[in-house]
Amino acid sequence: MKTALTLLTTFLMASLAPLSSAADAKTETAIIGGGCFWCVEAQYLLVKGVKNVVSGYAGGQTENPTYEQVSSGDTGHAEVIKVEFDPAIISYKEIIDLFWDAHDPTSVTKEDGEHHGKFMPKGTAYQGNDYGTQYRSAIYYTSEEQHKIAESSKLEVQKKWKDPIATEIAPLKIFYPAEDYHQNFKALNPNQGYVRAVVDPKTEKFKHKLEEKGKIKPDAK
């Protein structure tokens, strides 16, 4: 009886293992940053094939950084999102190709200047009214294949921009999820001032791009 039960248990475990692997294989990830993560998160939640988006931090040296630390510009981290997507619906290349439509990848300050009460040296990254290295344009790859795709996409899209693309393309060291209150920020805070003034218009513009390219979720709002 014990032998029969052991065989049955082994059979069940063996039959379930491939199912778990198959499920895991349906999701891939991309780590990108294009300014305030509230904006980029809201944009990519509209993309067909994207299963989940997590706002967070990457590219710096501080371990387990807080939002306040990253906002100081001293951690080296950028505000980024982790995009979890189904490669059967959308490829990593398509995720990156859309990235160039989500923000201005050429934006760095050309002159030294004072912004929001803080001195910003020449070459400081910015997106809209958000100045600082934490808002830099960035792609953090997790494999050499992703690296090649990102570099190739950058070369192709550079033809459409007058100024040089300033996007950092580097290997991902570690991704730190941001605090819970940053997740799904636009949907949970529709009347917040920054959301209405910045996130909504930027998301709406991206939405039209997705509609043109047939990459928008059917239930996107």
Domain ranges of the chain: 27-213
Q: Which CATH number fits domain 27-213: 3.30.1060.10, 3.30.2230.10, 3.40.710.10, 2.170.190.11?
A: 3.30.1060.10
| AA letter at 133 | T
Report the length, in residues, of the chain.
221
pTM: 0.87
Tokens of 24: 């895991």
Q: CB within 8 A of 167, min separation 6: which ones?
A: 105, 137, 138, 139, 154
Residue 36 bears catalytic tag: yes
Is 99 or 18 the better-scoring residue by pLDDT?
99
Give the active site residue among 36, 96, 149, 198. Answer: 36
Each residue's pLDDT tens digit, 137-163: 999 999 999 999 999 999 999 999 999
Q: Output the pLDDT for position 116.
A: 80
In whole angstroms, give the CA distance from residue 86 to residue 35: 24
Q: Output the pLDDT for position 221.
A: 66
